[in-house]
Amino acid sequence: MRMDSFPQILFSVWQAKITGRILMKNETLEKELAFKDGTLVIEKGMFDEEAFRGYLVGRKILDAPSAKKCEARAKKMKTTLMAAILDCDLLSPQPLWNYMEAFSKHNLFPLFDLTPLDSSLVSEKAPSATAILLTVSTLGLIQEGIYRMKNIELIDSLLPKDEDFQKLTPDHLDQILLQPYEEQLINAAGEKNDLQNLISSGALGENFTKKALFTLFCLGLLGPSLVATPNKPLQEISAAELQKILITFNAKCSYIYKSVSKELGPVALNLMEKSIEDIKPSLSRHFRKIRLDASGKIDLQPVLKANIILSDRETIQTIIKSLNEILSAEILAVKKTLGSEFESALTKSLEKIGG
């Protein structure tokens, strides 16, 4: 069992490609959701046709007499309300399915505003193809649901406060349709800004900016910076300061490896190596030949030998970004393998390394 906000749970389920039923609950609510390979599925038995009829009438998609006529036909023919709507030529299939998806998401939006939920996998049985009425994009639901949130206090409690945000480039980036304001925030975060700077420098307003940042945070497109840098402009970082950053970075890599080794044994090194190999295409060119040593540290000689111009702000920025992406990739691998609780404890321990 784990406790998180609803969008964080959804992303973890999608990321782990979970198949089965997950129970979400708090003091006042229990709701079971079905997933197939991380995608939310709506099964026929879980679809409330009576509520859907009310949804269509309430939004004036159908008038009340037509809705009652369809309900009567469905009972007479012992079929679904949706089949009756189609048989009566009131809607064509594509709009009907769009309304079904909108209705299904509408019922889930309130979960986004709840205080952290308990979630547990109660069944690993895959829903049969014939039982699935429709599928809902998990990433799309996260993106849409957060912007509908009214509980800004919950968002405040989950956004990193004291750390700088960093831009991440996960493999699933091309699966997310970014809005222009989301792209702007990602680019601004790439300039190494903290929460207050991003809010004050933008034109979206405080609450909307927080929603947008939380959306990008939950989707794995932004994350807290894991490598501390001196409190000065990047172009003023000296060779000695860069060396200190690299040493602290390697201390964190080694700590991650040792922590995972205690749980997994020799497999830990393979896990860490794969996490780095997967992100190499997105790293600075200075990191393309890096390798892990037996202690989990990264051989940084290729970086140190590279023609790094310390007065070049862009070069220093891409190096810091690459260091953060490596640590984020390792932590993500830990989360996928050992779970959220282990990952959370590990992240807190890393914050104490190197100040």
Flag whether pLDDT at 308 surpasses 60.
no
Tell whether the model's pLDDT for residue 223 goes beyond 90. no
pLDDT at 2: 47
Better-predicted residue by pLDDT, 212 or 305? 212
Identify whether residues 183 and 79 lie together within a single domain. Answer: no
Closest among 116, 167, 101, 150 to 7, alpha carbons compared: 116
Lowest mean pLDDT among 9-23, 49-63, 181-195, 287-301: 181-195
**Cα gap 188→182, rounded to integer Å:** 10
Residue 95 CA to residue 75 CA, distance in Å, equals 23
| 70/65 Cα distance (integer angstroms) | 9
Q: Please check whether residues 18 and 71 belong to one and the same domain.
A: yes
Class of residue 208 by CB neighbours under 10 A (exposed 0-12, middle 13-18, buried 19+): middle
Query: Using the 8-state DSSP alphabet, how is residue 297 labeled?
Result: -
Model pLDDT, residue 309: 45
User: In the predicted model, what is the mean pLDDT of residues 142-149?
Assistant: 96
**Running DSSP on this structure, what letter comes out for residue 98?**
H
Give the whole-angstrom CA distance, residue 29 versus residue 103: 19
Evaluate whether 18 touches 111 at the Cβ level (below 8 Å): no
pLDDT digits (tens, 9 = 90+) for 234-260: 555 666 667 677 878 888 899 999 999
Indicate if 45 and 134 belong to the same structural domain: yes
Distance (Å, whole) CA 11 – CA 25: 17
Per-residue confidence at 3, pLDDT binned at 50, 70, 90?
Answer: low
Highest average pLDDT, of 213-222, 294-303, 318-327, comes from: 213-222
Among 60, 62, 11, 2, smallest CA distance to 39 is for: 11
Asked if residue 229 belongs to a domain, the reply is no
Pair (90, 39) in one structural domain? yes
* Assigned domain for 152 exists: no
Q: Which two tokens stand for residue 78?
A: 């012992």
pLDDT bin (cut points 50, 70, 90) of residue 232 is low
Give the whole-angstrom CA distance, residue 333 versus residue 119: 21
Q: How many CB atoms lie within 10 A of CB 200?
A: 10
The pLDDT assigned to 126 comes to: 86
Q: In this structure, what token pair is assigned to residue 245?
A: 């950053």
Q: Which residue has the higher pLDDT, 273 or 286?
A: 273
| Stretch among 179-193, 260-274, 293-307 having the lowest mean pLDDT | 293-307
% pLDDT > 90, the chain:
35
Q: What band does 276 get if pLDDT is binned at 50, 70 and 90?
A: confident
The answer as to whether 216 is a domain residue is yes
Q: Which residues pair with 35 in a beta bridge?
A: 20, 40
- Count the helix, strand and coil residues of the chain and give each as a percent rounded to the nearest 5: 60, 10, 30
Are 173 and 132 within one domain?
no
Residues 7 and 139 in one domain: yes
- Report field, pTM of the whole predicted structure over 0.75: no
User: In this structure, are 24 and 60 located in the same domain?
Assistant: yes
Out of 224, 252, 274, a domain closes at 224
Mean pLDDT over residues 137-149, rounded? 96
Neighbours of 216 (CB within 10 A): 24
Which of 346, 355, 352 is closest to 257 using CA atoms? Answer: 346
Q: Is residue 153 situated within a structural domain?
A: no
Please write the tens of the pLDDT for every residue from 72-113. 999 999 999 999 999 999 999 999 999 999 999 999 999 999
Same domain? For 274 and 211 the reply is no
Same domain, 323 and 244: yes
Neighbour tally for 65: CB within 10 Å: 9
- Domain check: are 101 and 208 in the same one? no
Across 42-51, 175-184, 188-197, least confident range: 188-197
- Judge if 220 and 238 occupy the same domain: no
The secondary structure of residue 328, as a DSSP letter, is: H
Residue 53 lies in a domain: yes
Q: What is the pLDDT of residue 311?
A: 44
Query: Structure tokens of 74?
Result: 């469905």
Q: Which of 201, 224, 247 marks a domain boundary? A: 224
Give the separation between CA 265 and CA 121, rounded to whole angstroms: 27
- Same domain for 44 and 23, yes or no, is yes
* Average pLDDT value for residue range 333-351: 84
**Where residue 1 falls among pLDDT bands split at 50, 70, 90?**
very low
Q: How confident is the model at residue 132 (pLDDT cuts 50, 70, 90)?
A: very high
Q: Kindly tell me if the per-residue pLDDT of 307 is higher than 50.
A: no
Work out how many domains the chain is built from and give that number.
3
Domain edge (last residue) among 196, 224, 252 = 224
Give the domain extent around 134: 2-143
Mean pLDDT for all residues in the chain: 84
pLDDT in tens, 150-191: 999 999 888 877 667 777 777 788 889 999 888 888 877 766
| Residue 148 domain-assigned (yes or no) | no
